[in-house]
Chain A
Amino acid sequence: MSATAPRQARGPSASYAEPVEAPGIDPRGPQFTAAITAVVLIVILLLPPAAAAVLTGVQALLFALGAMRGVQHTPHAALFKRLVRPRLRPSAELEDPAPPRFAQAVGLVFTLVALVGYLTGLTLLGQIAIGFALVAALLNAVFRFCLGCEMYLLLKRLGG
């Protein structure tokens, strides 16, 4: 998945030594991606099962792309760079690309579960899985809040 977080292992660093970080990305990029994703997920939920399965497959591919190549190398990101970013003011703060990339992997898991649901006739399972992915995408699009990232520590805590 995304084991290659481009961040050096952080030991206990006392205050004044700010760690040098990888160049960040515009945080509004992943936010834009999440907004488009949310729209796609809503459409999936409103379509009949066969069409929903097809679109779920497409969205799973997009998530896979984001998880493997990073959120800054997806079709959404290209769209953002060409159409949206030139119209915005420069971002005050850049962000680490690792968290949104991890979120794409979480999205991939949910869409794969949904795909299995739709393809095996368990339409409700598919719809619920898409519903969870929609909650996460909306949180990201509206509040820039990464639900998958928080689950990460909770799962680690449980797993030991």
Chain B
Amino acid sequence: MVGLWIVLAAVVLALGFGGYRLLTDGRFNGTHAVRGAGSEQDVTAQPAETDPSTWASLGEAVASVVPGERATLVQFSSAFCAPCRATRRILGEVAEVVPGVVHVEVDAEHHLEVVRRLNVVRTPTTLILDGDGREVARAAGAPRKEQVLGALPLGM
């Protein structure tokens, strides 16, 4: 009977996908090296136009915000996003406790250009930028506090 097979397929699909998400959500992965980011000198030597930092790519989405000296936590949120609330609280707490860390929230819906440019596909997605505004790690899904603290770039 076809109906029964569809039930079984739906259960397997849901448990598989949900289980995968449960394991990977909130985990920070080091971002692929930005072009020319191999050595500090190369990057600073390049003109900003040819290798814009992630912070620069964010552009007007973060217009009025001063980035953190040690790290900036950029959170992409949307209106229909239940875990965004918990993420906001956790990142806010980290920014409050750790000196030099700033939390910024970007409404993904209203900055679709930026969302495409930075390849954000889900909300919440959290990017961790270093003091120079380069992305060092990102996590999709709500991270736990330890996960954020563990992924922060070292202070100076």
Contacts and interface: CB of A to CB of B under 8 A. Distances in A.
Contact of A45 (B6, B14, B103, B122): B6
Interface in B54-111: 61-66, 73, 77-82, 85-86, 88-89, 91-92, 95-96, 102-110
- Can you list the 5 inter-chain pairs with the closest CB atoms, starting with the nearest? A15-B103, A138-B14, A15-B95, A45-B3, A143-B18
| Most chain A CB neighbours (cut-off 10 Å) among B14, B80, B105, B108 | B80
Given A134-B7, A156-B112, A157-B115, A10 B102 contact: no
A93 B142 CA distance: 14
B149 interface: no
Interface string A77-101: 0000000000000000101101110
Interface in A33-71: 42, 45-47, 52
* Interface bracket on B: 35 or more
Chain A interface mostly helix, strand, loop or mixed? helix
A127 B102 contact: no
B17 A93 contact: no
